[in-house]
Amino acid sequence: MKRFLLFLVFLLSFFNNCFSQEGYKCYPTNWWVGMKWNKVQVMIHGDAIANAAGGFTINYPGVKLEKVNKVENVNYVFLDLNIAATAKPGILKIKVNKAASSFDISFALKARRNGNGKNYAQGVTSKDFMYLILPDRFSNGDESNDRVPGMKDQSLRRDTVYNRHGGDLVGIQNHLDYLQSLGVTALWLNPVLENDMPERTEHGYAFTDHYKIDPRLGGEKAYQDLIDAVHAKGMKIIQDAVYNHVGLYHFTVQDMPMKDWLHQWPAYTNTNFKDQTLFDPYGSTLEKKIMADGWFTKQMPDLNQYNPYVANFLIQHALWTVEEFGIDGWRIDTYAYNDLAFMNRCNKALVDEYPNITMFGETWVHGVPNQSYLVQNNYTIPFKSNLQASTDFQTLWAIMDAMTKDFGWDDGVNKLYTTLAQDFVYKDPTRQVVFLDNHDMARFFSVVNEDVNKYKSALTWLLTCRGIPQMYYGDEFATTGTTSPNDGYVRLDFPGGWPGDKANKFSIAGRTQKDQEIFQHLATLANYRKTSGALTTGRFMQFTPQDGVYVYFRYNAGQTVMVIMNTAKEKRSIRLKRFEERTTGFSRMKNIFSGDITGLQDIDLDTYESRVYELLK
């Protein structure tokens, strides 16, 4: 009996997803009953699959094969399935009728996760504090997957930033308690999908199979285990989506279904990176096309999202991922380079299926109008984006100016004030993701020339400004690094993430005095923020900067928090009478870092020092 049960478990796992004895593969690999997206286009890939003379048949209650789509490449066929609400979970057989023989392709129809999207796919809000991790560089929890036989990139050298280092998903899971102690409530991971490219695969942005979690990170089981562990701790997880391009070795590039699967040009054409062409009323049509349809690099071919087969492939993969793994939301890479009408379709499909899910797009542009064009905004213009939010590069440039430029009419901290004053363009600015650096940029501690006061002030701003704060791994102890000569230098290993590391900065004992000062500053504010209604959902009021001093308030009916930042090169005395509009009714104030409570009184601040006070009656 025991042997029979083991055999039954084996069969169920064997037929869990698409499979046939002929070696053909289906994309998506399976689907679910009870989904709103019930018209599923299944791409079958395999040797001359379209040449099945007798065609394809399905005999499964509640599932109708509506159309068989044959395309230019006979190695592909696209089947349009209609899955009725009456369909039950089980193994659907796609019968392939060849002239001399026939065979079945098994395609699983699964039951949905408990809650049908109501107790997962919860998104991130202004109550969250996100932590960005490059998995290959954070922690190596399973050395057995450092190299995977058969994969093109067999590098494993920690003495160079150009190769893989061996970090993985188990390594992240091992340090969830550490992240919670820091005040983190959500993780955003750089891409986890298979990147079977010959080199520079540590970053993950060149997919080669959408339906495989990279085995060097631990594969599907390690990913699911991590997500379950994150959710068990009341935290959330955001996956990195790349719709714009794939890796050169993606199976649909090496064996294209049709010529226009990719954006094709007479000669190689790189994107011009000019986002202005998307909305320029005087712009060139050709330059707009180059922006949107040009390739990101020669190693990352540009997907043609105008092609309905490509669009279905990408949208269905996004839905599949949420249901398969139970992720909470998406960060969308290179948002401006996608077909924006396609992105609206994809975003809508996700929200229709998962009402609480959130999406924020990478908008590496300059100018509030440029950025706001790509998200839900208050403009009356022909194109209306439904993207909820973006990575807020405009406030990033502004806090950089505040920390590195002298105070002036529109320079220094006035740039930050002016940028936030333009929030009226956004439908909901509290959804904007604020940050100081990421995997593509110089570490902020290097940007401010390793000035601890400037860095602590920037961290204070990060956790008290409107929006959703996001930090990059290692920023909690002021990691340094610039993108010159290579972006790998901002992707250094987390000390202590590998056996034998000289220092282990996951523990207090492994940190220097400076490390601990920064860590404690951040953790104190982040954990205070968790229970502060004023900082997470309260209103925002800023006062015009004077003499380099910037003061703003976060407040609601039950709490008022005052933030004071001195960006001048000299000490400043701040007279609170100027801020009576928000301080009236309060007689005391509590420094949230020291815990000291004093009367409401004027304050002296050192150069580039900042303070956070909760006002008390």
Q: Which residues are catalytically annotated? A: 333, 362
Number of C-beta neighbours around residue 510 at 10 A: 16
Q: Where are the strands (E) in 513-591, listed by range?
A: 539-542, 549-555, 560-566, 572-574, 588-591
Question: Up-side HSE of residue 280: CA atoms within 13 Å toward CB?
Answer: 14
How many other CB atoms sit within 10 Å of the CB of residue 22? 14
248 CB-near residues (< 8 Å, 6+ apart): 197, 206, 298, 299, 300, 301
Give the span between the Cα atoms of 395 and 104, in whole angstroms. Answer: 55
SS3 554: strand
**Count of C-beta atoms within a 10 Å radius of residue 589:** 24
Distance separating alpha carbons of residues 307 and 310, to the nearest angstrom? 5
Contact 327, 238 (CB under 8 A): yes
What b/e string do you get for 126-141 counting C-beta neighbours within 10 Å, with b at 16 or more?
Answer: bebbbbbbbbbbbbbb
Is 36 within 8 Å of 353 (Cβ atoms)? yes
Nearest partner of 194 among 157, 152, 165, judged by Cα: 152
Distances (CA, A) of 108 to 67, 83, 105, 251, 358: 19, 12, 10, 22, 28
- Rounded CA-CA distance 519/184 in Å is 12
d(CA 579, CA 544): 11
CB atoms within 10 A of CB 59: 10
3-state secondary structure 228-283: HHHHHCCCEEEEEECCCECCCCCHHHHCCCCHHHECCCCCCCECCCCHHHHCCCCC
Nearest to 138 by CA among 470, 492, 443, 518: 492
What is the C-alpha to C-alpha distance for residues 64 and 550, in angstroms, rounded to an integer?
Answer: 64
